Structure 1
Amino acid sequence: MQSLTQLQLSYDTNPGSIPACLGNLHKLIYLGFHGDKLSGTIPSPIFHNLTDLGTLEINSDKLEGTFMFSALANLSKLKEVDISGRSLEIDTETPVSWFPSFQLSFLSLRYCIINSRNAGRLPTFLWSQRKIKILFLRDAEITGTPPIGLFCNSSLGSLDLRNNSISGLFVVPCRNASYDAYEINLSHNHISGPLPENIHLSFPKLNILRIAGNKLEGRIPPSLGERQLVLLDLSDNHLSGEVPMLLP
């Protein structure tokens, strides 16, 4: 068993929890737990010796307690993390001094309760992730301003922050810069003000833009009609003026 490199446990029929003894499987590259009957907490100590781990998946709405994300700090080969659970809290800010040795390409913390002890703060460690391409944090009780600055120093292509409590202006943070983003979803938050007129310059590869159900005002930038958008959803806002021609 100690030479095992991949392990996936399904809890669709029989109830169970994450075994604490898995920390002895030092050669694991992939570790996954799935199923509606998976319950209990995520035991942080199991990750201390899983230094080869590249992919971690834990998905169940019956998980509970608080998972300290810093438990993954020393997993330098970690590339993909997918954790979800409607009753699961994830604390990414404790201890304050922790710093990740990993560079993620994919992170999904959908349907979790993120940083409830820090007023729903967006995970600070994200600003160190230069290689991240996909970031899914929908339905996670996140607050703060739209984190468009994440595009400045990373290769982020897809950002999903729908159904949170993000407020403030949608601001393009870096002038004369163009980003790799092809999909942005900020629907059903509290984002206000106008859309930037130069949004087309900053996101030349954008295919999908969803900011429905916010408090946007003003006109829709005509330049959006010049993009090869596949989908544009700005419904349920306070926008005015003409809708740009979106078909080439």
Structure 2
Amino acid sequence: MRLFLAAIFISLAVGFVNACSPADKAALLAFKAALNEPYLKIFDSWKPSSTKCCSDFYGVSCDPTTGRVADIILRGESEDPIFEKAGRSGYMTGSLSPALCKLDRLSTLIVADWKAISGEIPACIPSSLPKLRILDLAGNQISGKIPADIGSLGRLTVLNLADNRISGCIPASIVNLGSLMHLDLNNNQLTGAIPSDIGKLTMMSRALLSKNQLTGSIPVSFSNIYRLADLDLSMNKLSGLIPGQFGSMRVLSTLNLDSNQFYGNIPSSLLSSSGLNVLNTSRNNLEGELPDVFGPETYFSVLDLSYNKFKGPIPKSLSSVRYIGHLDLSYNHLCGTIPIGEPFEHLGASSFANNDCLCGSPLRTC
């Protein structure tokens, strides 16, 4: 008898887990109705007649305790058998329905890399989805602004809106995302300044803001983010001085500042840093002599200082570094003899091209 009752209980529990609330189901179907995916037919499993949207709806999963929808994970580029069988990546048109905001237990919302989803980010998301941890809408054609109250998503760890057409400023409230670890706003149409107190995001390890139209200076407060490993501000309209504090950040390994309007000297702390692995300050208005501060602990896989206004000699201490994979000093006003030894023995002439009067291997003899 006990085994019989246990079996009934397990059966009911499994049915509960696979089902979802009528309200959640209605919200999912409204979300589906605003989209069109003609090739992979992933929405064919989202049937109004289904009572098990937690298990039957492709890309949807639910909390096993409450039975409420917890995750929507729909990626247009995937190794899922559906994609392998079709032999193509995804393509989806339409927009994101505000009905998503009725899924108030949603923890993950990923609708990424579908190429043609347009419209705006539903303005109700920050106020209606308090449990949201991952918001990934990258790789679409979403326009409009980032919701001004985005900072109210206190549990958010990932905000990825890259490769869209989002405009306007980065909302000031973004600094309230105290749990944020990954911020990717690359390749949009964002304007204005980066919030000066961005350093409040002390949990952040990646901040990717390249290929926008951001202006103003780099907030020094970035240096307060002790977990920050990857900072990409390239291809914007940023100006001012490069903060020397970046060279003291112990975790920072990649710093891309190329294709902006920075001026002044390059901080010696960046070149002497033992933690930086990739440093790209090319295509700016940096000037002065290159600090002779390299040492045996210096290890750059990429060091690109090209297309600036640097003058004077190449620092002799560069020949004592532990390793430099790619070095580019071209298109400056450097002059003098190119040092000998590593890393110069494996570098081509293009690394030194179009300077005022450099000589020595691999260029002309002095």
Which TM bucket (shorter chain)?
A: 0.7 to 0.9
1:238 equivalent to 2:333? Answer yes
Point out the structure with the larger helix share. 2
Where in structure 2 are the equivalents of 1:16-165 lying within 5 Å? 16-23=119-126, 24-48=128-152, 50-68=153-171, 70-93=172-195, 100-114=200-214, 116=215, 120-165=216-261
SS at match of 2:200: coil
Where in structure 2 are the equivalents of 1:169-208 lying within 5 Å? 169-173=265-269, 178-200=273-295, 204-208=298-302
Say whether the 8 Å CA contact 2:199–2:222 is kept in structure 1: no
Please name the residue that 2:115 is paired with: 12
Deviation of 1:200 after TM superposition, in Å, equals: 2.9
Say whether the 8 Å CA contact 2:228–2:252 is kept in structure 1: yes
Structure 1 109/213 Cα, relative in aligned 2: closer, same or farther at 3 Å?
Answer: same
In the alignment, the residues of structure 2 paired with residue 62 and residue 196 of structure 1 have an alpha-carbon distance, to the nearest angstrom, of 40
In the alignment, the residues of structure 1 paired with residue 310 and residue 132 of structure 2 have an alpha-carbon distance, to the nearest angstrom, of 47
Structure 1 229/101 Cα, relative in aligned 2: closer, same or farther at 3 Å?
Answer: closer
Say whether the 8 Å CA contact 1:78–1:103 is kept in structure 2: yes
Deviation of 1:170 after TM superposition, in Å, equals: 1.7
SS at match of 1:151: helix
Q: How many residues align?
A: 238
In the alignment, the residues of structure 2 paired with residue 7 and residue 207 of structure 1 have an alpha-carbon distance, to the nearest angstrom, of 35
In the alignment, the residues of structure 2 paired with residue 36 and residue 216 of structure 1 have an alpha-carbon distance, to the nearest angstrom, of 40
In the alignment, the residues of structure 2 paired with residue 72 and residue 35 of structure 1 have an alpha-carbon distance, to the nearest angstrom, of 21
Say whether the 8 Å CA contact 1:20–1:46 is kept in structure 2: no
Say whether the 8 Å CA contact 2:151–2:175 is kept in structure 1: no
In the alignment, the residues of structure 2 paired with residue 98 and residue 158 of structure 1 have an alpha-carbon distance, to the nearest angstrom, of 18
Higher RCO by CA contacts (8 Å cutoff, separation 6 or greater): 1
RMSD: 2.5
The unaligned stretches of length 5 or more in structure 1 are: none
The unaligned stretches of length 5 or more in structure 2 are: 1-102, 347-366
Deviation of 1:90 after TM superposition, in Å, equals: 4.4
In the alignment, the residues of structure 2 paired with residue 77 and residue 243 of structure 1 have an alpha-carbon distance, to the nearest angstrom, of 48
Deviation of 1:178 after TM superposition, in Å, equals: 4.5
Say whether the 8 Å CA contact 2:138–2:164 is kept in structure 1: no
AA aligned to 1:214 is N
Structure 1 9/47 Cα, relative in aligned 2: closer, same or farther at 3 Å?
Answer: farther
Say whether the 8 Å CA contact 2:217–2:241 is kept in structure 1: no
Deviation of 1:241 after TM superposition, in Å, equals: 1.8
Structure 1 178/122 Cα, relative in aligned 2: closer, same or farther at 3 Å?
Answer: closer
Say whether the 8 Å CA contact 2:176–2:201 is kept in structure 1: yes
Structure 1 98/231 Cα, relative in aligned 2: closer, same or farther at 3 Å?
Answer: closer
In the alignment, the residues of structure 1 paired with residue 326 and residue 119 of structure 2 have an alpha-carbon distance, to the nearest angstrom, of 42
In the alignment, the residues of structure 1 paired with residue 274 and residue 138 of structure 2 have an alpha-carbon distance, to the nearest angstrom, of 34
Greater Cα radius of gyration, structure 1 or 2: 2
